[in-house]
């Protein structure tokens, strides 16, 4: 029978959970049920299945999110729980399911998609996702545990009554920062019901008149004997509170018999400096399970981004130049000039052609404009390139491990 791809029905869910448990045996037994039943953004169309002879043999889940990109708040689709029954692998079912999902995301108005992969990245790269790299810091737990405490700072475990303040701290710390997932209070409530936090490794810092001013969250990766930092945020001006919280996590890790502490952090984050000061700390962007992102609807994304970039342009004198993107068989022009930034139907002035597949790395600030240009294309003038690089500079990525689904 020809495979059929469709939205999951409520009656399919027991078979879906069984399939996912078989394909992800190391996951917590009730994880997939909780991710579905405790996520208020979930709609039945967000679970896509492959049906063969009446049986569910493939599945993926869309997580409906919003993400900041250079100051614009855009719709983003997390892709997770991608699974194919072992008896039906190597038949192209996962590829067909992902192509089907990309078309669905365009139709539903998403701009970006992200996923974390435990399989070879080229599988997703040929479908348009690209690895985006963020510095991953690691150090022995004992060295993190030696970080000094801070006088006047009280560190204690998270309590449910802290949630409203934590949500506000996160929103203030991440607003407008490229790659950050925007979290509503409802998202927080839903998320904490399924994410595999450690109760003893979810800590808040309370300091004097500031009250609750910082927090860190973590999860144990027993297979790697490592404590993973999921989140670390603070109020403005409370940055010195974060290194002592990392020290408390180090002590917790030692108590749990874990050997290391690891965190993927934006460049310049206070914890990156704390890690750098540890004797045996290391940093890499080559991690085992990389984050991947994809532009879903570039023309609409560009339309949403243009007015935000136009405000950034301000009084900057820019020559007339077009960034030309070729994505998914469409050509999109982002025109920059004295009158602002807009999406154009045809080029005007000089043209800077972005290499196919590099739109997401350029827009996320992973590459400079010069690095993202198509090889062999005629480059624009130095003045035009300089204007584009002032408008779209490289930026740290503020995606946090807690949002990896």
pTM of the model: 0.94
Please say whether the beta carbons of 112 and 76 come within 8 A: yes
Res 10: pLDDT: 95
- The correct CATH number of 136-285 out of 3.30.420.40, 3.90.220.20, 3.40.630.30, 3.90.1640.30 is 3.40.630.30
Return the domain boundaries, the chain.
4-133, 136-285, 297-391
> At the fourth CATH level, which superfamily is domain 4-133?
Gcn5-related N-acetyltransferase (GNAT) (3.40.630.30)
Q: Is 185 helix (H, G, I), strand (E, B) or coil?
A: helix
How would DSSP label each residue in 103-127? HHHHHTT--EEEEE-SS-THHHHTT
Identify the helix (H) or strand (E) that includes residue 36. Answer: helix 31-37
- CA–CA distance, 356 with 340 (Å, rounded to integer): 25
The backbone torsions φ and ψ at residue 360, rounded to the nearest 5 degrees and listed phi first, read -70, -40
Partner residues linked to 367 by β-bridges: none
Whole-angstrom distance, CA of residue 60 vs CA of residue 345: 35
Per-residue CA distances from 20 to 64, 80, 100, 124 (Å): 20, 11, 20, 19
* Ramachandran quadrant class, 6 (left: phi over 0; alpha: psi -120 to 50; beta: rest): beta
Grouping H, G, I as helix, E, B as strand and the rest as coil, residue 366 is coil
SS3 content of the chain, % helix, strand, coil (to 5): 35, 30, 35
Contact 238, 215 (CB under 8 A): no
Q: Is 338 exposed, middle or buried (0-12, 13-18, 19+ CB in 10 A)?
A: exposed
Q: Could you give the CA distance from residue 16 to residue 38 in angstroms, rounded to a whole number?
A: 16
- 4-133 matches 136-285 in fold: yes
Please report the pLDDT score of residue 405 as a whole number.
78
pLDDT of residue 349: 86
Q: What is the DSSP letter of 11?
A: G
Task: Name the token pair of 363.
Answer: 């827009």
How remote is the C-alpha of 347 from its chain's centroid? 32
SS3 state of residue 225:
coil
pLDDT of residue 26: 84
CB 146 within 8 A of CB 253: no
What CATH number should be reported for the domain whose range is 297-391?
3.30.1050
pLDDT < 50 stretches in the chain: none
């Amino acid at each position: 029978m020809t495979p059929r791809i469709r939205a999951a029905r409520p009656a399919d869910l027991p078979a879906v959970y069984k399939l996912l448990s078989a394909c992800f045996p190391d996951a917590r037994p009730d994880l997939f049920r909780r991710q579905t039943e405790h996520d208020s953004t979930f709609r039945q169309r967000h679970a896509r299945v492959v049906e063969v002879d009446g049986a569910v043999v493939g599945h993926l889940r869309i997580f409906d999110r919003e993400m900041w990109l250079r100051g614009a708040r855009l719709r983003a689709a997390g892709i997770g729980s991608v699974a194919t029954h072992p008896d039906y692998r190597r038949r192209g079912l996962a590829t067909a399911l992902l192509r089907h999902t990309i078309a669905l995301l365009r139709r539903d108005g998403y701009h970006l998609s992200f996923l974390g992969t435990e399989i070879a990245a080229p599988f997703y790269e040929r479908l348009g996702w690209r690895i985006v790299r963020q510095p991953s810091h690691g150090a022995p737990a004992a060295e993190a545990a030696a970080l000094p405490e801070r006088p006047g700072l009280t560190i204690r475990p998270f309590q449910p009554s802290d949630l409203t303040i934590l949500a506000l701290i996160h929103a203030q710390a991440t607003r407008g920062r490229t790659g950050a997932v925007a979290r509503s209070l409802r998202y927080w409530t839903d998320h904490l019901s399924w994410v595999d936090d450690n109760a003893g490794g979810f800590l808040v810092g309370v300091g004097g008149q500031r009250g609750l001013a910082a927090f860190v969250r973590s999860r144990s990766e027993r297979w790697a004997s490592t404590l993973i930092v999921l989140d670390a945020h603070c109020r403005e001006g409370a940055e010195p509170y974060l290194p002592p919280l990392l020290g408390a996590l180090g002590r917790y890790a030692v108590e749990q018999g874990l050997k290391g502490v690891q965190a993927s952090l934006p460049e310049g984050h206070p914890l990156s400096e704390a890690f750098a000061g540890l004797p045996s700390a290391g940093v890499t962007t080559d991690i085992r399970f990389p984050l991947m992102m994809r532009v879903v609807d570039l023309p609409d994304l560009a339309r949403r981004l243009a007015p935000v970039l136009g405000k950034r342009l301000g009084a900057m004198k820019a020559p007339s130049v077009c960034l030309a993107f070729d994505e998914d068989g469409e050509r999109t022009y982002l025109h920059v000039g004295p009158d602002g930034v807009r999406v154009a139907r045809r080029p005007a002035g000089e043209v800077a052609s972005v290499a196919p597949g590099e739109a997401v790395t350029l827009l996320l600030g992973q590459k400079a404009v010069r690095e993202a240009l198509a090889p062999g294309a005629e480059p624009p003038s130095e003045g035009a390139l300089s204007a584009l690089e002032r408008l779209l500079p490289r930026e740290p990525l503020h995606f946090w491990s807690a949002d990896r689904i």
